[in-house]
Chain A
């Protein structure tokens, strides 16, 4: 499995060419349940103005992500690091005057990026941890022992058979296996 590298952000701002646009992309993404109304975004910029991450980042702008999605700049979007900077605080979702689930759009774009083989290390690790332990983090033995010493109930063992069956039927196991090159 080859893995595409996350693009550096200069790529997002380089000169735009006609071939960067995929006119079908807008319809493709608006098939995702919950974000059917993506075309309603009229670029008011409330999302970026109220985004706590955007306050401290030169590259993260939900408004820009929305516009690039509408224009169909699929390749640039899916390879961009900024796609992974949303903290999912949902402030933009609550504030959007057009009722667009902006965080939902970012999530859908991330899901597409993963299918194309782009996944930041930390997300691969979280996926792997869930598959192998049922928990998103590897809880050290020492912590488990300490729990019992402190009189806390032992941490229940997750049902790994169930988790693995669900991952298989959804096809997510592939994402966790993508090796870093």
Chain B
């Protein structure tokens, strides 16, 4: 699998608040032999303002896709929101000639043109499964996390809408589970596993997402999972940074550490907890490490 190389699309949420996801991803990918090229002059993927103006979302996404076409490199994103949006727009523009014409009409203003069919967009989980491969990941594990029991939360846009994403089975996703099992840890099922965390509507209504994420944490605790594994900066924010707030609102104690998948994989690959920036997590994960 030599020679894997991507253009890294960082998005907004990760540099804003979730640096540990970026650091752990970069270190793990480097050790797996994946090369990341920094994406110059990129902008927001567009998703956050799709509700304000759909065309604005299309243009922001299309501009990013044009940048990747210029570099002739496939895009890798750590954020499912960015991945889903860029993937969907990339595909729509390739399939819908009228749309492509309209978008290119706008892009002329900034001397850009979407050509199409040149590049692909990958989310980290998809790249690990489909490009790097489970076998290679298993081979890279030197310190299996045997005995550790965790639960997973994919992040909706890794899987949905199925028509545009075409990765894993959104009704019963298993590929993040396989990635977790590759580290030696056990991945448990729980109720309402595929439900959204609610984070996107924070700011419009905070209570619904807090109750929703709280319900998920309760179901995760009910199966005695020692940690929750995510692959989305927004979901991570919801379950980790907001966990104390959820606990106060529901008068319940969860104390479930929330790790980014690359942090878990990194530990199994022999990185230290400090290298994986576990101390940056809001919910203490040190007890978890003593357990392995």
Contact = CB atoms under 8 A, between A and B. Distances in A.
Most buried by A among B52, B55, B112, B207: B52
Interface in A18-57: 33, 52-53, 55-57
Nearest to B216: A52
B40 interface: yes
A166 B106 contact: yes
Nearest to A126: B48
A82 B50 CA distance: 17
B156 A89 contact: yes
B201 A84 contact: yes
Contact of A123 (B51, B106, B209, B211): B51
Interface string A125-147: 01100100011111100011011
A150 B23 contact: yes
B170 interface: yes
B170 A88 contact: no
Most buried by A among B51, B59, B109, B201: B51
A153 B26 CA distance: 11
B52 to A, nearest CB: 5
Nearest to A114: B52
A143 B203 contact: no
B53 A114 contact: yes
Contacts of B63: 162-163, 166
Contact of B160 (A55, A84, A90, A167): A90
29 contacts: A55-B212, A56-B212, A84-B201, A88-B50, A91-B195, A93-B160, A108-B54, A111-B51, A127-B52, A130-B43, A130-B48, A130-B49, A130-B60, A134-B42, A135-B15, A136-B44, A136-B48, A143-B15, A156-B38, A158-B41, A158-B43, A162-B110, A162-B112, A163-B60, A165-B109, A166-B109, A166-B110, A169-B109, A175-B53
Interface of B: 10, 12-13, 15-17, 19, 22-23, 26, 38-44, 47-56, 59-60, 63, 96, 99, 106, 109-110, 112, 156-157, 160-163, 170-171, 192, 194-196, 198-201, 203-205, 207-209, 211-212, 215
